[in-house]
């Protein structure tokens, strides 16, 4: 008879909400790392469009966060508002649609150095100001930015 060395196994039971928090936290850490990498790339090559560089990491984060909550989403790039939309004549950076194709919300990215706060428009161009005027009537908007080292503010 051969003896088998068995190592003890630690079993950790988590509630569903703890599991979701962990998955969401891991997604957020990956987003912060991706944004730090984008910062390095932008510093190395000033010809790139900073907002375009943010689209993939933000889209990845949104998809991972949705999975953490057992939801299916589709992130669309360059979403144009058309006649009949709540906000007309604006091309938003991203639209988030649910598993059945229903519009859940929009994401408008701002380049590093541009404030995302509509009451402190540091670095805003005429285009940014006109865009904000159109978006000010959006029914569910959330403004924020990610700093150079990936801190959400």
What does the pLDDT average to over 104-117?
79
Q: Give me the sheet containing 91-98, strands edge to edge.
A: 73-80, 91-98, 103-107
What are 38-51's pLDDT values in tens digits? 667 666 666 767 77
Q: 111 near 95, Cβ under 8 Å?
A: no
What does the pLDDT average to over 21-45?
70
* Per-residue model confidence (pLDDT) at position 17: 54
The reported pTM is 0.63
Q: Tell me the average pLDDT of the chain.
A: 71
140 lies in a domain? Answer: no
Domain of 35 in residue numbering reads as 16-113
Q: Structural domain tally of the chain?
A: 1
In order, the DSSP letters of 79-127 are: EEP-TTSSS-S-EEEEEEEETTS-EEEEE----TTS---TTS-TT--HH
57 lies in a domain? Answer: yes
Using the Cα atoms of residue 151, residue 119, residue 53 and residue 138 in order, give the sign of their dihedral. positive
8 lies in a domain? Answer: no
* Per-residue model confidence (pLDDT) at position 130: 85
* Per-residue model confidence (pLDDT) at position 3: 47
């Amino acid at each position: 008879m051969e003896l088998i060395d068995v190592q003890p196994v630690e079993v950790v039971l988590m509630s569903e909400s703890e599991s979701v928090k962990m998955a969401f936290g891991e997604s957020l850490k990956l987003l912060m790392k991706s944004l730090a990498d984008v910062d390095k790339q932008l510093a190395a090559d000033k010809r790139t469009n900073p907002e375009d560089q943010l689209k993939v990491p933000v889209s990845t984060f949104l998809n991972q966060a949705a999975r953490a909550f057992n939801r299916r989403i589709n992130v669309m790039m360059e979403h144009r508002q058309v006649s009949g939309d709540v906000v007309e004549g604006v091309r938003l950076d991203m639209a988030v649609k649910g598993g059945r194709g229903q519009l859940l919300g929009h994401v408008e990215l701002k380049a590093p150095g541009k404030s995302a706060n509509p009451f402190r428009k540091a670095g805003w161009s005429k285009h940014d100001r006109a865009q904000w005027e159109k978006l000010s009537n959006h029914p569910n908007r959330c403004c924020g930015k990610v700093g150079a080292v990936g801190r959400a503010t």
